[in-house]
């Protein structure tokens, strides 16, 4: 997942561009995913579906996030919803590197940055090859018990060790490349990707990372000692965490979903995943513009 595409990645991007731009003897195959029970998603689907169908074959239309995309031939996934819907699409793809284009039907939308009107304007340009594909780091999060992996999940945003009732201060040993780095005394610990740096990590006071960086943020939640600060490290660092005295509710959570309850002696292992999450971007999309608009940053825009 280097920032420099490999030969195969270049071939995949060229193939997708050829399909979407009509230079191959078949129409692109598109999956449309959307958040269930959300009126704005249904309204967006009604507007966008005939436009998409004019240039592509819609092979999946799933507003319940139940389709198994592991064995369906798809060239592009269009997600209607907010960032939570993007995370759900990442779970459905389960490591398949298929470009995703997000249309924001939610509130904030750092990942799903295009509005419905933006999409209608951008779609003809996408079909003509006016796009780029950005690869985002994912984490492979494993729970190890008695030397065996009992659960694992890919995470696009973050992995977090969180406590539960009874709410007490946790002691979490952090190992980096098999060396003890420190013992955190805190309410929890977040390991975030650049994509996830604007999610839970940001709420906990962590830094924002540019999304193309191959880096992670290690962010303690409400640390007992003020010298515990957020740490930015290489994504190639191999992390392990051990909770000294977990309660019955102490859990490892990936992208907002509980992977498993942590017992005494469990080790939580975090590595850069072998797969990346691909997002399709169009001209005009810019990270600083998104941050300025979504976070309400002040300042004037030069014209």
Same domain, 256 and 172: yes
pLDDT in tens, 75-104: 999 999 988 999 999 999 988 999 999 999
- Check whether residue 161 and residue 261 sit in a common domain: yes
Q: What's the pLDDT score for residue 3?
A: 39
Looking at the fold, whether 144 and 178 belong to one and the same domain comes out as yes
Query: Alpha-carbon distance 17 to 31, whole Å?
Result: 16
Give the structural domain span for 213: 139-272
User: Do 116 and 182 share a structural domain?
Assistant: no
Q: What is the pLDDT of residues 24-51, one digit of tens each?
A: 778 899 999 998 778 899 999 999 999 9
Q: Is residue 77 part of a domain?
A: yes
User: Using an 8 Å Cβ cutoff, are 230 and 219 in contact?
Assistant: yes
Same domain, 54 and 146: no
Q: What is the pLDDT of residue 164?
A: 83
Is residue 255 situated within a structural domain? Answer: yes
User: Which range (51-60, 171-180, 204-213, 276-285) has the least confidence?
Assistant: 276-285
Q: Which residues contact 61 (CB under 8 A, 6 or more apart)?
A: 31, 32, 45, 49
Tens digits of residue pLDDT in 237-274: 999 999 999 999 999 999 999 999 999 999 999 999 99
pLDDT for 21: 63
Residues 100 and 191 in one domain: no
- Least confident segment among 19-28, 64-73, 81-90, 179-188: 19-28
Q: What is the CATH number of the domain that holds 159?
A: 2.60.200.30
More confident residue, 302 or 161: 161
- Total of domains in the chain: 2
Euclidean distance between CA atoms 251 and 131, whole angstroms:
40
**Would residue 143 count as lying in a domain?**
yes
Residue 13 clears pLDDT 80, i.e. is over it = no
- Nearest-CA neighbor of 94 among 119, 69, 57? 69
Q: Name residue 188's beta-bridge partners.
A: 162, 221
| pLDDT number for residue 1 | 36
Active site residues: 83
pLDDT of residue 16: 63
If asked whether residues 218 and 95 sit together in one domain, one would say no
Do residues 262 and 251 make contact, with C-beta atoms less than 8 angstroms apart?
yes
Is position 303 within any domain?
A: no
Residue 286, pLDDT score: 74
Please name which of 192, 205, 174, 69 lies closest in space to residue 137, comparing C-alpha atoms.
Answer: 192
Please choose, from the candidates 281, 180, 290, 300, the residue with its C-alpha nearest in 3D space to the C-alpha of residue 240: 180
Of 197, 262, 270, residue with least CA distance to 230: 197
- Both 19 and 129 in one domain: the answer is yes
Tell whether 71 and 148 lie within a shared domain.
Answer: no
pLDDT band at 19 (very low <50, low <70, confident <90, very high): confident
In a domain, 1, yes or no: no
Tell me, yes or no, whether 104 lies in a domain: yes
Please state the rounded mean pLDDT for residues 172-191: 97
221 within domain boundaries: yes
* C-alpha 103 chain-centroid distance: 15
Q: Could you read off the pLDDT of 231-246 as tens digits, one per residue?
A: 999 999 999 999 999 9
Whether pLDDT at 290 is above 80: no
- Mean pLDDT in the chain? 89
Question: What's 280's domain CATH number?
Answer: 3.40.50.10330
167 and 211 part of one domain: yes
Residues 121 and 232 occupy one common structural domain: no
Residues 177 and 218 in one domain: yes
Single out the residue of 153, 132, 133, 131 nearest to residue 142, CA to CA: 153
Residue 278: pLDDT band with limits 50, 70, 90: very high
301 within a domain of the structure (yes/no) = no
């Amino acid at each position: 997942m280097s920032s420099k595409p490999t030969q195969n990645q270049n071939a995949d991007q060229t193939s997708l561009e050829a399909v979407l731009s009509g230079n191959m003897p078949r129409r692109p195959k598109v999956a449309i995913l959307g958040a269930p029970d959300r009126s704005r998603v249904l309204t967006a689907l009604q507007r966008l579906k005939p436009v998409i169908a004019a240039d592509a074959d819609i092979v999946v239309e799933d507003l319940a996030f139940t389709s198994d995309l592991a064995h369906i031939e798809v060239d592009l996934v269009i997600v209607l919803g907010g960032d939570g819907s993007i995370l759900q699409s990442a779970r459905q793809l389960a490591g398949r590197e298929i470009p995703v284009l997000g249309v924001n039907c939610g509130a904030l939308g750092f990942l799903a940055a295009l509005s419905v009107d933006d999409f209608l304007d951008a779609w003809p340009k996408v079909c003509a090859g006016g796009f780029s594909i950005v690869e985002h780091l994912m984490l492979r999060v494993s729970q190890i018990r008695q030397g065996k992996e009992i659960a694992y999940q890919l995470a696009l945003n973050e992995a977090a060790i969180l406590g539960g009732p009874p709410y007490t201060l946790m002691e979490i040993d952090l190992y980096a490349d098999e060396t003890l780095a420190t013992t955190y005394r805190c309410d929890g610990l977040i390991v975030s990707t650049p994509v996830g740096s604007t999610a839970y990590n940001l709420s906990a006071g962590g830094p924002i990372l540019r999304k193309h960086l191959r880096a992670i943020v290690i962010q303690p939640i409400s640390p007992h000692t003020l010298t515990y600060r957020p740490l930015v490290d290489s994504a190639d660092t191999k992390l392990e965490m051990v909770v000294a005295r977990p309660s019955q509710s102490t859990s490892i959570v990936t992208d907002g979903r509980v992977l498993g309850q942590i017992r005494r002696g469990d080790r939580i292992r975090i590595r850069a995943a072998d797969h990346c999450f691909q997002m399709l971007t169009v001209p005009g999309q810019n990270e600083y513009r998104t941050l300025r608009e979504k976070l309400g940053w002040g300042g004037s825009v030069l014209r």
